[in-house]
Structure 1
Amino acid sequence: MSLYSPEEWSSRKLAGQRLMIGFEGPVCDERIRSLIARILPAGVVLFSTNVRNPEQVIRLNRDLQSAAKEAGLPPLIIAMDQEGGSVARLREPNFKEFPPISELKNTEEAREHARCMAVELKALGITMNLAPVLDVADKDTSIMKKRAFSGDAQAVTNMGLAMIAACRQEGIHAVAKHFPGIGRTVLDSHHVLPVLDAKKSLLAISDFLPFGAAIKAGVDGVMISHILYEKLDPEWPASLSTIISRDLLRKEMGYEGVVMTDDLDMKAIRLPMEKAMERMVLADIDLGLICHEGPAIDEAFNTLVHMAEKEENKAPFIRSAKRVLRVKSSLS
């Protein structure tokens, strides 16, 4: 069976390749090898709990890729949130410390910021940075004020594109987040479901602009936010919305790359994992992120296996696998 021919894959493999998972600890021990062999994930997301020093991270990532190979998988996407400032998994004294992107003044600074990060990530065996943040935070009350470039959509666009290009140049995949833009929210989706009532016409001339430019630039991934945009979809948060992901991002804006949810462990998502997976597949979202080790990962996987076994779901599962493989194939 070919590593890169999803038409030949089992339902279990098609299911697992729609998940990116987190785990506890700094080593790929037998527990983690068993997790990879059981879930067959597309990738892993590393956090501070997985990090001690450069030598340890290199060894961890090498062992993770070895476990994936033993499980008959293509290379894992190994991702990390390394934005700079408060959101950074690599910190002094063992790693370089980066300022928040809100302190960057122009595209040259943004490019160098991303380049230095990418060089460090690549040396550690990390393949994807869950950055840049492309949210337009135009008010001091924005939850993203210190994590966003600016409140000006064009400045966000210019600096975001510079970061994406620098990541690509250094061999790191970039992910634009948090579509369709969370710069207007004052609440944190880690704890609650924020609700925004901005009209689509307003979002189109501001919040959407950096993402549209990133799509045209061929950004490898787009992360969808856990925000309820009442004027776009009054029922579902963006991360589970067919209107926002499938209709707006895929069809209207023409994005053909990898789409992923934000972490489904966040408290903004208060659904059974079974329902969340059903909505994710329906919304044409390729990857569900479950960033904490626990029963939710198995619940998601089992639901996806059940869905992948149905003949009517084969084509969309294969389509998503091919999108993910386009990223993976450049990691080999």
Structure 2
Amino acid sequence: MQFLKRFGLILLWVAAPLAAFAAANKNDPYLLVLRGAGNIVLVVASVLIVIVLLRRGRWRSTAGKLLVMLWCLPPLLMSAAHVRFELRKHDVLAASPAEARQLGPHFMVGYSSFPEIARLAEQGLIGGVYVTRHNIRGRTVEALRAEIAALQDKRRAAGLPPLVVAADQEGGIVGHLAPPLTKVPALATLAGLAPDHQQEKAEEFGRIHGRELAGLGVNLNLAPVLDLKPPPRRNRLDFHTLIGQRAIATDPAVVSTIASAYVRGLEESGVGATLKHFPGIGRVHDDTHHFSANLDTPVTELEATDWLPFRQVLSHSRSALMVGHVTLTAVDPDRAVSHSKRVVQGILRDTWSYQGVVMTDDLVMGAIYQNDVCKAVVEAINAGVDLLLVAYDGVQFYRVFACALDGSRRGKLDAAMLRASEARLERGFPGAQTRAVSLSRRPLETTRTAPRAPAKGG
């Protein structure tokens, strides 16, 4: 019994700083699972532990006093973190109409709370929304379609342009709205087919995605993946990117053929495509969801290999382009491509003459969020990035937008870049002008499975 008491006391000493850390960082995306009920449990547990320690006379010893004070910290630190969040949120929501008009169109946000995202949409503080599995879990397709239509109605009533509505339907392991939408095989399953059959099936997959997304009210698909498939075995801490399962092929020509046909299928339905993840992450050994990552390959080699599919598909489509959080060391060793002017303006705009929409990968990813996110936001805007994506944890929008707001108020944002970006967003992609508002009321076919293509070599 004495052993159990000592063991319990040791656990309290170990758990106290962990609880305090979790409380102080309650709004961190890594602690998303603790939000809501988790935070309440932490506070209640802390209070109960303090009461038990006091009732057992721990306050009489110096060590006991320290332990009691440690367990008093979580509620206090959580309250302080909540106050900081609310103050930042208040500052964002209090942005002037001119500030909202200047900055809002450049943000695309994932959400869980409809009233909250509706307020951001009505005030013009965002230009787009991102819908994913939690937006449809436990709900009907009709409910999500009506929700998207309601957001567009609110925009129209406020005299604002329609929202860009994006989803992540690549096929294979990434199909965040399937089910209930059709579960389409990965485009990589087409790589072993004859070229004509590759195009036929890829275009069919694009039409399936395009038709169903347009029927839901989605007008931008964050697909296809144009990264070259990496070798089967490599030394990589890859928890979430899983590019080996998502990339189409190792051959740039095969990637170009399949991706071009898929994009045609999407665009026929009025849904825009997003080519990702420039500059290519097939060669990268770290997962940017959690770590900074370098791409050390010379530009001449990338132009001859990894970048061929990007240039090929961009040359005959109106696709958007997603830039990743990888540092292209040969061009800009000091910052990731997602906020590098040398890459976005120097390569994409000037060298490639690409004047379409450039968007970042999710800014909540560790490669950006765990570093100087405010610097990255300001630099991304000044580099000519058009859309800044906050997808995984939508409440981080307030932090990210506050960075842009502070940059604007301090005169750190390039007004000419913002104007040029606004023009690009107005031109947009297929469906960008109407943003599929009328399509959002179209009947939707759901819960079926597309015909599976034979795997490569099969």
Q: Is TM-score (shorter-chain normalized) higher than 0.5?
A: yes
Task: Say whether the 8 Å CA contact 1:138–1:152 is kept in structure 2.
Answer: no
State how far apart, in whole Å, the 2-side matches of 1:289 and 1:295 are: 12
Q: Once the 2 structures are TM-superposed, how far is the Cα of residue 141 of structure 1 from its aligned partner?
A: 3.7
- Say which SS state the counterpart of residue 20 (structure 1) adopts: strand
Q: Map 1:176-255 onto structure 2 (within 5 A).
A: 176-255=275-354
Q: Once the 2 structures are TM-superposed, how far is the Cα of residue 158 of structure 1 from its aligned partner?
A: 1.0
* Residue equivalent to 1:81: 168
Deviations 1:247-303 (A, max 9, x none): 111111111010000000001113333212111022111111011455531233233
Deviations 1:162-199 (A, max 9, x none): 11111111110111111111111233211212222111
> In structure 1, which of residues 324, 327, 332 is the aligned counterpart of residue 425 of structure 2?
324
State how far apart, in whole Å, the 2-side matches of 1:74 and 1:14 are: 13
Task: Say whether the 8 Å CA contact 1:176–1:221 is kept in structure 2.
Answer: yes
TM-score with structure 2 setting the length:
0.66
Deviations 1:53-83 (A, max 9, x none): 3212211211121232344320000000100
State how far apart, in whole Å, the 2-side matches of 1:42 and 1:305 are: 15
* Residue equivalent to 1:101: 187
Moved more, 289-298 or 216-225: 289-298
1:167 aligns with 2:255: no
Which structure: larger Rg?
Answer: 2
Change (3 A) 1:231 1:118: same
State how far apart, in whole Å, the 2-side matches of 1:231 and 1:241 are: 12
- Say which SS state the counterpart of residue 367 (structure 2) adopts: coil
1:18 aligns with 2:106: yes
Q: One-letter code of the match for 1:325?
A: E
State how far apart, in whole Å, the 1-side matches of 2:109 and 2:130 are: 6
Deviations 1:102-142 (A, max 9, x none): 11231221111111111111111111101111111141147
Change (3 A) 1:103 1:67: same
Task: Say whether the 8 Å CA contact 1:141–1:186 is kept in structure 2.
Answer: no
State how far apart, in whole Å, the 2-side matches of 1:178 and 1:293 are: 20
Task: Say whether the 8 Å CA contact 1:246–1:283 is kept in structure 2.
Answer: yes
* Residue equivalent to 2:385: 285
Change (3 A) 1:70 1:305: farther
Q: Once the 2 structures are TM-superposed, how far is the Cα of residue 308 of structure 1 from its aligned partner?
A: 4.5
Deviations 1:20-56 (A, max 9, x none): 111115xx3x222223234621101111111133212
Moved more, 75-84 or 16-25: 16-25
- Say which SS state the counterpart of residue 366 (structure 2) adopts: coil
State how far apart, in whole Å, the 2-side matches of 1:258 and 1:231 are: 24
* Residue equivalent to 2:122: 37
Deviations 1:236-255 (A, max 9, x none): 11111112111111111111
TM-score with structure 1 setting the length:
0.90
Task: Say whether the 8 Å CA contact 1:39–1:298 is kept in structure 2.
Answer: no
* Residue equivalent to 1:90: 177
Structure 2 residue ranges without an equivalent (≥5): 1-96, 192-197, 235-241, 438-458
Q: One-letter code of the match for 1:313?
A: D
State how far apart, in whole Å, the 2-side matches of 1:260 and 1:138 are: 24
Q: One-letter code of the match for 2:422?
A: A
1:69 aligns with 2:156: yes
Q: One-letter code of the match for 2:326?
A: I
- Say which SS state the counterpart of residue 425 (structure 2) adopts: helix
Q: One-letter code of the match for 1:322?
A: A
> In structure 2, which of residues 380, 389, 402 is the aligned counterpart of residue 302 of structure 1?
402
State how far apart, in whole Å, the 1-side matches of 2:408 and 2:415 are: 6
Q: One-letter code of the match for 2:207?
A: R
Between the two proteins, the alignment pairs up a number of residues equal to: 320
State how far apart, in whole Å, the 1-side matches of 2:297 and 2:226 are: 17
State how far apart, in whole Å, the 2-side matches of 1:311 and 1:134 are: 34
Structure 1 residue ranges without an equivalent (≥5): 1-8
* Residue equivalent to 1:276: 376
